[in-house]
Amino acid sequence: MSSARPHLPAPGAPAHCRPSYLQLSDAELDRRRQEALQELEDCRACPRRCGVNRMAGKWAACKTGRHAVVGSAFPHFGEEDCLRGWNGSGTIFFSHCNLRCVFCQNFSISQGVRPQEEPGEDAESIANRMLDLQTRGCHNINFVTPEHVVPQVVEALVLAIRRGLRLPVVYNTSAYDVVEALQLMEGLVDIYMPDFKYWTPERSRTYMKAQDYPEFARAAVKEMHRQVGGLVTDGEGLAKRGLIVRHLVMPGQLDETEQILSWVARELGADTYVNLMDQYHPAGKVGGDRYAEINRPLSAEEFQEARRIARNLGLRHLDERRPHRKLRMLRMV
């Protein structure tokens, strides 16, 4: 894979196949960067609204000060087929998180890293990571858990764009975002991919330590849809623009699934691309008698029921894994 050629938009490609940020002027890019850094001075970057001066290195709920902490960056082949293609999705995983999900499957980087235990990376370093992933042939730049570092992402993106970034940008989020931060990303992000986790405040408080999660998630997902609309792919089946809604199906909680999917069908439309995920397993703080009700894997029957619910609600665009023909050919070599 190291010799892969970047899959970049051809000259004269339709507008929907070219990254949105190519339409932004230098002056607008400068304005976004300046506004982003101002947000860090009295931080309101996420629903926690801590109000600390992160430009001075202070931190609160997200445990992240002036610079974002990158947990890893690599071509990821576990994402949706329209993102991973045959060369992989260029994922940049950010450490720390603004949620405290007790079942987090990335616990070691979301909650297990102590503040200042890993050095943060400045905008130039993160921009270089993007350009390296582009050189390695990745089909997009995929920011994972960016909710608490939106200002740092904007700062790095401006640098990367000016140095030749030409890949679609994916915002891969828990949906615990504020609309104001998403508006700062408008025109910089091509593909929004929120994981709408819980519908009820009670379970959000119990399992994510954020009772207000549902109201922020609903507002955030609607704003994402307003910005980019439904999913658009190119002739190779690669995502170029639009919304992908994920939902991790939880054991014994299909009522949450039904309410979320009902809202998606009603508010966003039956053609919304939805990925129902079945990979839940006990992790993080779940074990023994702690959160015993979710201390088991999701059953095949529960997952099939979730898909039945989606179909009965009229959702027509459910994710189906069909590896790209070029990926299948590479695996045969």
Q: What is the spatial distance between Cα 27 and Cα 299, in angstroms, rounded to a whole number?
A: 53
Outline where DSSP puts E strands in the chain. 70-76, 89-94, 141-144, 169-173, 191-194, 232-233, 239-248, 273-277, 317-318
How would you class 52 by CB atoms within 10 Å of its CB: exposed for 0-12, middle for 13-18, buried for 19 or more? middle
Per-residue pLDDT reduced to its tens digit, 120-158: 899 999 999 999 999 999 999 999 999 999 999 999 999
Does 305 have pLDDT greater than 90?
yes
Candidates 177, 156, 179, 178; CA nearest to 169 is 156
Distances, alpha carbon 268 to alpha carbons 15, 168, 226, 244, 305, in Å: 23, 22, 9, 11, 22
What rounded mean pLDDT belongs to the chain?
93
pLDDT score of 105: 87
Structure tokens at 309: 């619910």
- Domains of the chain (ranges; CATH) run 28-332 (3.20.20.70)
pLDDT score of 12: 56
pLDDT score of 16: 65
pLDDT score of 240: 98
**What confidence category does residue 282 fall into, taking pLDDT thresholds of 50, 70 and 90?**
very high
Strand pairing category for 141-144 and 232-233: unpaired
Structure tokens at 283: 């992790």
Taking the CA atoms of the chain, what radius of gyration do you get in angstroms?
A: 19
pLDDT score of 3: 47
For residue 264, the 8-state DSSP code is I
pLDDT score of 110: 82
Assess contact for 280 and 299: CB atoms under 8 A. Answer: no
What pTM did the predictor assign? 0.94
Per-residue pLDDT reduced to its tens digit, 59-107: 999 999 999 999 999 999 999 999 999 999 999 999 999 999 999 988 7
Per-residue pLDDT reduced to its tens digit, 178-222: 999 999 999 999 999 999 999 999 999 999 999 999 999 999 999
pLDDT score of 107: 75
